[in-house]
C-alpha cells in the first residue's frame, strides 16, 4: 500500500559508476548496492531515469559523469523527485570546484555534502514541498510567458522601426526623383531654346549664303546694284 506522503529515504552522489562521494539515508540499509547496480545501467552522459523495485523507486540524474540518485517510497511525484535531484546537483557543483570533484577519493566529500543531502531530503519530504514546487513552477511559467511576450513586442517594435525606416527612405527617394525630374525638365527646356536659336541662326546663315551666291558676291551688286 502506498503512503499518502511518500518519503525520500536515501540520496547518493557517485562519480563515474563506482566512486561514492557522498551519501545520506534516513534509515539503515545497504542502499548503495542497489544504487551502484542502477547507476551501472545508465549511460554516463547526461540523463534522467526512473526505476521501480518492489515497494521502492529510484530516480537518477546524470551530468558530466556525476550521478545523483535518490531512493524513495513508491508514489513519490516525479516533479518532487527531480526537483530534489536538481537542487542537489546545483548545490554540489556550487560547493566543489572541478578539481575537487574529479580528484576526491571515495567518500571524500561526505563530511561536507551529506548535510546538504539531509537538508534536501527533509525539505522535499515535507507536505508543503509539492505546494511550494507548484507555486515555483507557476511563477517560472509566468516569467517564461512574460519573456516570450516581451520578445514578441520587441520583435514587433523592431519590425515597425524597420518599416518606418523603409518608409522614410522611400519618401527621400520620391523627393529626390521629383527634384531630379524638375531639373531634367529645366535642362530639356533650355536645350530646346538653344536648339531653336541655333536653327534660326543656321537658317539665317543659309539664306545669307544663298543671297551672296545669287547676287554675285558679298557686295550683292546684282540684287542691290546702283541704277548707273
Q: Show the 3-state SS of 48-94.
A: EEEEEECCEEEEEEEECCEEEEEEEECCCCHHHHHHHHHHHHHHHHH
| 91 contact partners, CB below 8 Å, separation of at least 6 | 113, 116, 120
Say what the pLDDT of residue 200 is: 87
228 compared with 114, residue with greater pLDDT: 114
pLDDT > 90? residue 129: no
41 compared with 154, residue with greater pLDDT: 41
Cα–Cα distance for residue pair 96/113, rounded to 1 Å: 10
pLDDT > 90? residue 142: no
Q: Which residues pair with 48 in a beta bridge?
A: 61
Least confident of 31-45, 78-92, 137-151: 137-151
Domain borders along the chain are 8-126
CA dihedral 153, 156, 158, 159 (to 10 degrees): 180
168 compared with 60, residue with greater pLDDT: 60
**CATH for 8-126, among 3.40.1590.10, 3.30.450.50, 3.40.366.10, 3.40.47.10?**
3.30.450.50
Tens of pLDDT, residues 175-204: 777 777 777 778 778 877 888 898 889 888
Say what the pLDDT of residue 211 is: 83
Of 21, 34, 116, nearest in space to 72 by CA: 34
Cα–Cα distance for residue pair 36/151, rounded to 1 Å: 45
Say what the pLDDT of residue 140 is: 57
15 compared with 228, residue with greater pLDDT: 15
Say what the pLDDT of residue 225 is: 64
Using alpha carbons, list the distances in angstroms from residue 188 to 105, 161, 183, 210, 228.
94, 40, 9, 32, 54
Give Cα 94 to chain centroid, integer Å.
Answer: 26
Using alpha carbons, list the distances in angstroms from residue 187 to 25, 173, 196, 198, 200.
97, 21, 14, 16, 20
Coil, strand or helix: which one is 11? strand
Cα–Cα distance for residue pair 182/180, rounded to 1 Å: 5
pLDDT > 70? residue 62: yes
Amino acid at each position: 500500500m502506498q503512503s499518502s506522503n511518500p518519503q525520500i529515504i536515501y540520496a547518493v552522489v557517485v562519480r563515474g559508476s563506482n566512486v561514492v562521494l557522498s551519501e545520506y539515508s534516513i534509515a539503515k540499509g545497504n542502499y548503495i548496492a542497489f544504487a551502484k547496480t542502477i547507476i551501472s545501467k545508465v549511460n554516463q552522459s547526461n540523463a534522467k531515469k526512473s526505476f521501480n523495485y518492489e515497494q521502492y523507486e529510484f530516480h537518477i540524474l546524470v551530468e558530466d559523469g556525476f550521478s545523483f540518485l535518490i531512493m524513495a517510497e513508491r508514489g513519490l511525484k516525479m516533479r518532487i523527485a527531480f526537483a530534489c535531484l536538481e537542487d542537489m546537483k546545483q548545490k554540489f557543483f556550487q560547493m566543489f570546484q572541478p578539481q575537487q570533484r574529479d580528484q576526491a577519493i571515495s567518500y571524500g566529500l561526505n563530511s561536507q555534502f551529506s548535510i546538504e543531502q539531509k537538508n534536501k531530503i527533509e525539505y522535499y519530504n515535507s507536505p508543503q514541498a509539492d505546494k511550494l514546487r507548484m507555486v515555483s513552477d507557476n511563477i517560472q511559467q509566468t516569467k517564461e510567458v512574460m519573456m516570450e511576450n516581451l520578445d514578441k513586442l520587441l520583435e514587433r517594435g523592431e519590425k515597425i522601426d524597420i518599416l518606418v525606416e523603409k518608409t522614410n527612405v522611400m519618401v527621400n527617394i520620391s523627393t529626390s526623383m521629383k527634384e531630379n525630374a524638375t531639373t531634367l525638365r529645366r535642362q530639356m527646356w533650355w536645350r530646346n531654346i538653344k536648339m531653336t536659336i541655333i536653327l534660326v541662326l543656321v537658317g539665317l546663315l543659309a539664306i545669307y549664303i544663298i543671297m551672296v551666291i545669287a547676287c554675285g558676291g558679298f557686295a550683292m551688286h546684282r540684287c542691290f546694284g546702283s541704277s548707273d
